[in-house]
Structure 1
Amino acid sequence: MDWLTFAAFALFAVFSGLGAAFLLRRFGGSSGQWLDALDRLERRIREDLVANREEASKAARGLREEVVGTLKDMAVLQKSTLDGFGAQMGRLTNSLEQRLDAFARQIGDLTKANEMRQEALRATVELRLGQLQEDNAAKLEQMRQTVDEKLQGTLEKRLGESFKLVSERLEQVQKGLGEMQSLANGVGDLKKVLTNVKTRGTWGEVQLGNLLEQILTPDQFMANVACREGSSDRVEYVIRLPGRGEGDGEVWLPIDAKFPREDYERLVEAAERADPEAVEASARALEARIKQSAKDIAGKYVHPPRTTDFAILFLPTEGLYAEVLRRPGLMDALQRDYRVNLCGPTTLGALLNSLQMGFRTLAIQQRSSEVWEILGAVKSEFGKYGEVLDKVQKKLVEASNSIEDISVRRRAIDRKLRGVAALPNDGAKAVLELIEPADVEPD
């Protein structure tokens, strides 16, 4: 069933319903009339349907014929179009084949040309590489020779310098070994010196003499002096002090050096071992040795009025002096019992400097009268100098006045000579018969 038939049946159903509804409303409940009317309506509808079917069939046939014709025309047109497209494709294919053949020929020509160029380039590159290899080999050989020469020269120079430096260092080492040997011998000699009691005393005496020579003048001290007449005991040094009055003779200050090395070394060794008992025992032994030395000095060298009523015990090292000072009451005991003062290198230097200042003060006092006489003479001469200076001032005033008069006369002459023409320098000299200052002969 096509769509036209379905539309006809639909219309028939619609109209049948409408007709039945109309008849029912119009004729009411009369069934006979209603049936007649319904038959007439059905016949009319069928007739209309038949007529519509025929018209639809005609229209469908016309539409089919038109569609078929259109399809035929389209087929013909499509065929012609396809034929033209096929012909165009054939022409295009032929053109492409021709162009491909030409391109293939060109590629072949380019390939041959590239092969020839590559061959020529390869030959050129091989030639250049060969030349570069030869040049590089020659340059490398030259560089190798240059480097070998420089390395050889540098190596010989460095080796020479190294051998020279090693030789110098060996000489220095040998010299240092010699110095160390000398130092060792010196240390051994020093040990021998310090071991011998007499030599130790000589070392302390030398140190004491050096201090005296550095601070005092040679006429202010003497060495190896007998403080008692007829005695063979001689003190190492005495300082010559002036007497109290002008008629009094000089007074000597005895100074003697002592160096109890064994007692001091035992004390130091005990302190290093941290042994209090040994330290105390060694300190007592050192104190006894110092007291004995002070007693000997007081008995041998203190002899007033030729000497002072006290003497000085010189200890040549600061460490020994410090250990003696640490003993409580030892300094007071030495000064009270033996009238001996202890001095180390530093304290003796301070004492000698004080004595030197005293010597200078005394010299100034002794020569003060001479200074006053010189000042009186200077005062007299200064008065004469004032008189002479007044005379000179008077003469200078007179000379100044004379110069002022001459200046007045010169200005007056200048005013008178303003209208007179001046001659040249040479002409003026000739007229006035002037003589150059250089031509004047000295008297």
Structure 2
Amino acid sequence: MDQIAFTLLERPVSWATFALAAGVLALLLPALALLLAWRGGRRRAAEAAAQAERAREMDDKIAEMNRLQAELTGRMQTMAEILSTRQGDLARFVADRMDGLRQQVGSGLEQNVRQTGETLGRLQERLAVIDAAQKNLTDLTGEVVTLRDVLANKQARGAYGQGRMEAIVRDGLPASLYAFQATLSNGRRPDCVVTLPGDGRGLVIDAKFPLESFTALREARGEEARKAAAARVRGDVGQHVKDIAERYLLPGETQEMALLFVPSEAIHADLHEHFADIVQRAHRARVMIVSPSLLALAIQLMQSLVRDARMREEARVIQTEVGRLLDDVRRLGERVEKLDGHFRQAQDDVAQIRTSAGKVTGRAERIGALDFDEPAAPPAPDFAAATRLKAAE
């Protein structure tokens, strides 16, 4: 019995131990079965009680749901009645609003049509203006191309500068004070000579500024090319300034200073900014480099001088006329004095005439008072009274 039957978990188990364990297990299995049966019956009872409770709760809920359904049905009927009433009101309201909206839409459409017509009319006017502007732009483009062609040609560019200079001079001075392409005593023909009043010497304006070197300077690429173009600018402008000073500055015939007209404000600014030595050289040579704005300013100054000279001439004329007027007033005063003497003499003559008329009237009254019914002896002649009457006459 003490023999080892098997090993469990590295422990030897004898047959006696195994038999004892089997007996104990045989006793415990019925008890375990009874316990399980009791617990199963208790569980089933609890489940039946819970199922009965759930059934009762379900019945309560169904009753509550029936009650709520009845209330809901009543409320639904009430809501249906209210909804039908509201639906009628809503239909009438919608009909009224639709009528009003239809009228508003009609008037709005009519107004929109009118505004659209007005807008289209204004749009057509603006399109006409745009067409005119486009036409002007096209013409301006052609003019710009023409101007570019003009500036590319040396002779045409010179004519362009001459035209701008002539336009400025014509706008500011009367025709009697300037002359284009006038011939000087040395045979030279400057572009313009302006003669100021009171001074017989003319102011020379030259419009042949050398623009080729400036064009080359702007198109130069690289430091060496710019230096070469700058040297060319200095040489061309300096030579042109020298030619003006030698050809057009004639003592006693022209002014001591001449004007070199540059037809571009940008070139004039570049010249004063980057080539100050050329400007100083021109000043020393008594040649002023002017742009269109400076030339217009100089012409306005000349116009002021002309106006002042004319005012002085008119002032002298006025003084002469005032002197003549004083002479006329003096003669008028003398003639008024003579006329006043004549008036006084006439008054004296009238007074004497009135005295004689009074005497004649008195004598006529005395003659009318005589009585011619009875002849009377003629009175003796009163020589004293006759003498007094003669003296009174």
Q: TM-score, normalised by structure 1?
A: 0.47
- Mapped to 1, the partners of 2:287 and 2:104 lie a distance apart of 85
Change over 3 Å in CA distance of 1:160–1:364 after alignment to 2: closer
Quote the Cα distance in structure 2 between the aligned partners of 1:363 and 1:129: 99
Cα distance in 1 for partners of 2:334, 2:98 equals 105
**217, 238, 253: which one aligns with 2:193:** 238
Contact 2:237–2:278 at 8 Å: present in 1 too? no
| 1:188 and 2:145 matched | yes
Greater relative contact order (Cα < 8 A, sep 6+): 2
Determine helix, strand or coil for the equivalent of 2:181.
strand
Partner secondary structure for residue 341 of structure 1? strand
Q: Is the 8 A contact 1:223 1:238 kept in 2?
A: yes
Is the contact between residue 216 and residue 356 of structure 1 (CA under 8 Å) also seen in structure 2? yes
Paired residues of 1:258 and 1:316 also in contact (CA < 8 A):
no
The answer to whether the aligner puts 1:333 opposite 2:294 as a matched pair is no
Question: Does the alignment pair 1:149 with 2:106?
Answer: yes
Distance 1:289 1:143, change over 3 A: same
CA distance, structure 1, for counterparts of residue 121 and residue 314 of structure 2: 68
What SS does structure 1 have at the residue aligned with 2:263?
coil
Aligned to 1:79: none
Give, in whole Å, the separation in 1 of the partners of 2:99 and 2:272.
85
Please give the residue correspondences for 1:361-380 in structure 2 after superposition, counting only pairs within 5 Å.
Answer: 362=309, 370=317, 373-380=320-327
Amino acid at match of 1:186: E
8 A contact 2:209–2:260 mirrored in 1: no
> What is the SS of the residue equivalent to 1:234?
coil
Residue 210 (structure 1) shift: 2.3
Alpha-carbon RMSD across the aligned residues, in angstroms, is: 4.4
Contact 2:209 2:237 in 1 (8 A): no
Per-residue deviation, residues 32-64 of structure 1 (Å, max 9, x unmatched):
xxxxxxxxxxxxxxxxxxxxxxxxxxxxxxxxx
- CA separation of 1:211/1:176 partners in 2, compared to 1, >3 Å: closer, same or farther? closer
1:255 CA displacement: 1.1
Aligned residues: 265
SS at match of 1:293: helix
Contact 1:221 1:237 (8 Å CA) reproduced? yes
Aligned residue in 1 for 2:161: 204
The separation in 2 between residues aligned to 1:189 and 1:227, in whole angstroms, is 34
Q: CA deviation at 1:154?
A: 4.2
Identify if the C-alpha distance between structure 1 residues 317 and 153 changes in structure 2 by more than 3 Å, giving closer, same or farther: same
Structure 1 counterpart of 2:237: 290
Q: Distance in 2 between matches of 1:202 and 1:354?
A: 26
- The offset of 1:222, in angstroms, is 0.9
Q: TM-score, normalised by structure 2?
A: 0.52
Q: 1:182 to 1:347 in 2, by over 3 A?
A: closer
Q: Distance in 2 between matches of 1:363 and 1:176?
A: 45
Q: What's the CA shift string for 1:109-145, capped at 9, x where partnerless?
A: xxxxxxxxxxxx99x9899768746644653553354
Q: Is residue 237–residue 254 contact of structure 1 (8 Å, CA) maintained in 2?
A: yes
Q: Distance in 1 between matches of 2:202 and 2:110?
A: 78
From the superposition, tell whether residues 384 and 135 of structure 1 become closer, same or farther in structure 2 (CA, over 3 Å): same
- CA distance in 2: counterparts of 1:289 and 1:383, whole angstroms: 71
Which segments of 5 or more consecutive residues in structure 1 lack a partner in the other structure? 1-120, 245-249, 396-443
Stretch of structure 1 that moved more, 250-259 or 363-372: 363-372
Contact 1:208 1:314 in 2 (8 A): yes
Q: Percent identity?
A: 24
Question: What residue number does 2:135 align with?
Answer: 178
Mapped pair 1:344 → 2:291 = yes
Gaps of 5+ in 2: 1-77, 344-393
- Partners of 1:184 and 1:317 lie apart in 2 by 19
- For residue 213 of structure 2, the aligned residue among 255, 263, 272 is 263
Matched residue, 1:253: 203
1:342 alignment partner AA: I
Q: 1:192 to 1:387 in 2, by over 3 A?
A: same
3-state SS in 2 of match to 1:347 = helix
Instruction: Give the letter aligned to residue 195 of structure 2.
Output: R
User: 2:267 — aligned with what?
Assistant: 320
Aligned equivalent of 1:220: 177
